[in-house]
């Protein structure tokens, strides 16, 4: 058997007092690479071992200060140099507003890098085991014993001298700890990796062939392959191969009534007004007239455009000509347009156009009232 390398020599004690005195003697005898392991922290151990305060605090300070600096520099550069922007009237470099970010970055850099450096530096990452792991010594000192270990790295280390020294401390037992043999894991051997790769290839190929050739389905594509025609897609079923079909001739869309007299000056047939002049209809007509017609025709249809020369003033709606229009003719002008007046069929719905016709009739009658109308109006109570 090959010579095993010594990690260190351990001594176990049964009570805290003996470990404290053992620690004192070890530190006095000039060893530098040694340590104490106890199941719980023991008061006064730092002094007994003559341990100086940890330097980790400086690491934290430096990392924290670099966090502060990075945060301030970043905000100074972005907010006052590269993209200066006035926010709430504050100066470009506004320290009070920058405090939260500065604080956060300081804290996060200080803590995160302290933890990372502690793992890497003091605990020897990426090494994830220690020769003391898995020894009887470690099992005992984590239960009911107190131990001291003098490492072979110590410049003063000499196996027999150290053994004698430890014996003089009156321990329960003394042990020599060797470095464990390097373990090799079969999963990292080329043979195993080869088997792993072959398995992966065989399983994928088998799955693909089963699904694709034996079961006649494309793998993992089931949602995409649906028996329907999606918009813009081709169809083998129709001679012209278009998936999207034109509507059957004469089809009328739901809620849409075709207007057959577009482009004509006068509708070829008499259009009958289907709406009755109820209060609600007249109010609707008034609202729509004031919105869509009054800018050109004026609030009362006098042709006094508000557009002030931007558009040619229309004729009054109180002329004999306009008063003698049938309801259908006014509806036709709104739907079709007349000369330079455009069609309003896309702004005003069919029902609203008929309501406007009724409202125009009211305007015309009001401006051209006969005696009977005047008598009638006198008797109406207008709130």
Instruction: Please report whether residue 297 would count as binding ligand HEC according to CB under 6 A.
Output: yes
Under 8 Å between Cβ of 13 and 154: no
Instruction: Please report whether residue 348 would count as binding ligand HEC according to CB under 6 A.
Output: yes
| Distance in angstroms (rounded) separating the CA atoms of residues 77 and 82 | 6
Is 135 or 335 the residue whose CB approaches ligand HEC more closely?
335
Handedness of CA 344, 347, 352, 358 (dihedral sign): negative
Window of 56-64, 166-174, 209-217, 308-316 that interacts with ligand HEC by CB under 6 A: 308-316
CA angle 292, 298, 300 (to 5 degrees): 105
CB of 343 to ligand HEC, least distance (A): 9
Under 8 Å between Cβ of 132 and 149: yes
Among positions 295, 323, 343, 367, the unique one binding ligand HEC when judged by CB under 6 A: 295
Instruction: Please report whether residue 68 would count as binding ligand HEC according to CB under 6 A.
Output: no
Name the nearest CA neighbour of 332 among 231, 232, 259: 259
Q: How many residues bind ligand HEC (CB under 6 A)?
A: 23
CB of 269 to ligand HEC, least distance (A): 18
Instruction: Please report whether residue 355 would count as binding ligand HEC according to CB under 6 A.
Output: no
**Which residue in this structure is represented by tokens 């003697």?**
25
Is 152 or 334 the residue whose CB approaches ligand HEC more closely?
334
Is 79 or 348 the residue whose CB approaches ligand HEC more closely?
348
| Distance in angstroms (rounded) separating the CA atoms of residues 350 and 256 | 9
168 Cβ neighbours under 8 A, 6+ residues apart: none
| Distance in angstroms (rounded) separating the CA atoms of residues 117 and 62 | 12
CA angle 178, 184, 187 (to 5 degrees): 155
Is 145 or 297 the residue whose CB approaches ligand HEC more closely?
297
Name the nearest CA neighbour of 328 among 260, 249, 383, 231: 260
Among positions 235, 321, 366, 375, the unique one binding ligand HEC when judged by CB under 6 A: 321
Under 8 Å between Cβ of 315 and 333: no
| Distance in angstroms (rounded) separating the CA atoms of residues 257 and 11 | 103
Instruction: Please report whether residue 344 would count as binding ligand HEC according to CB under 6 A.
Output: yes
| Distance in angstroms (rounded) separating the CA atoms of residues 152 and 133 | 16
Window of 106-114, 192-200, 213-221, 294-302 that interacts with ligand HEC by CB under 6 A: 294-302
CB of 297 to ligand HEC, least distance (A): 5
CB of 75 to ligand HEC, least distance (A): 56
Among positions 293, 318, 335, 354, the unique one binding ligand HEC when judged by CB under 6 A: 293
Window of 24-32, 41-49, 148-156, 335-343 that interacts with ligand HEC by CB under 6 A: 335-343
Q: Which CA distances in Å does 16 have to 122, 135, 149?
A: 26, 21, 15
Instruction: Please report whether residue 32 would count as binding ligand HEC according to CB under 6 A.
Output: no
Window of 194-202, 246-254, 265-273, 307-315 that interacts with ligand HEC by CB under 6 A: 307-315
CB of 231 to ligand HEC, least distance (A): 36
Instruction: Please report whether residue 282 would count as binding ligand HEC according to CB under 6 A.
Output: no
Residues that bind ligand HEC (CB under 6 A): 292-293, 295-297, 311-312, 314-315, 317, 319, 321-322, 330, 333-334, 338-341, 344, 348, 356
């Amino acid at each position: 058997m090959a010579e095993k390398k010594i990690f260190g020599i351990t001594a176990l004690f049964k009570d805290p007092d003996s470990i404290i005195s053992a620690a004192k003697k070890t530190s006095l005898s000039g060893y530098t690479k040694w340590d104490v392991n106890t199941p719980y922290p023991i008061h006064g151990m730092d002094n007994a071992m003559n341990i100086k305060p940890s330097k980790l605090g400086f690491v934290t300070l430096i990392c924290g200060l670099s966090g502060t600096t990075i945060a301030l520099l970043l905000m100074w550069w972005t907010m006052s140099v590269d993209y200066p922007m006035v926010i709430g009237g504050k100066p470009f470099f506004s320290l009070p507003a920058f405090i939260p970010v500065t604080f956060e970055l300081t804290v996060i850099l200080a803590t995160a890098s302290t933890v990372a450096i502690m793992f890497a530096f003091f605990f020897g990452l990426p090494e994830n085991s220690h020769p003391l792991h898995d020894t009887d010594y470690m099992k005992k000192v984590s239960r009911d014993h107190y131990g001291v270990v003098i490492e072979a790295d110590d410049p003063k280390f000499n196996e027999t001298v150290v053994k004698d020294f430890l014996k003089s401390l009156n321990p329960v037992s003394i042990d020599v700890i060797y470095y464990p043999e390097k373990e090799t894991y079969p999963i990292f051997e080329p043979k195993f990796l080869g088997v792993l790769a072959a398995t992966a290839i065989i399983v994928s190929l088998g799955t693909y062939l089963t699904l694709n050739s034996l079961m006649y389905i494309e793998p993992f594509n089931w949602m995409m392959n649906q028996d329907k025609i999606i918009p813009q897609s081709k169809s083998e079923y129709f001679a012209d191969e278009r998936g999207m079909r034109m509507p059957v001739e004469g089809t009328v869309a739901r809620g849409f009534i075709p207007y057959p007299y577009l482009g004509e000056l006068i509708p070829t047939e008499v259009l009958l007004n289907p709406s009755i002049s109820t209060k609600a209809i007249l109010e609707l007509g008034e609202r729509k007239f004031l919105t869509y017609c009054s800018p050109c025709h004026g609030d009362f249809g006098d042709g006094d455009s508000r557009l002030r020369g931007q558009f040619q003033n229309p004729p009054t709606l109180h002329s004999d000509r306009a008063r003698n229009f049938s309801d259908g003719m006014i509806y036709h002008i709104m739907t079709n347009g007349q000369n330079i007046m455009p069609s309003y069929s896309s702004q005003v719905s069919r029902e609203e156009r008929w309501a406007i016709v009724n409202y125009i009739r009211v305007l015309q009658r009001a401006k051209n009232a006969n005696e009977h109308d005047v008598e009638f109006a006198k008797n109406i109570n207008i709130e």
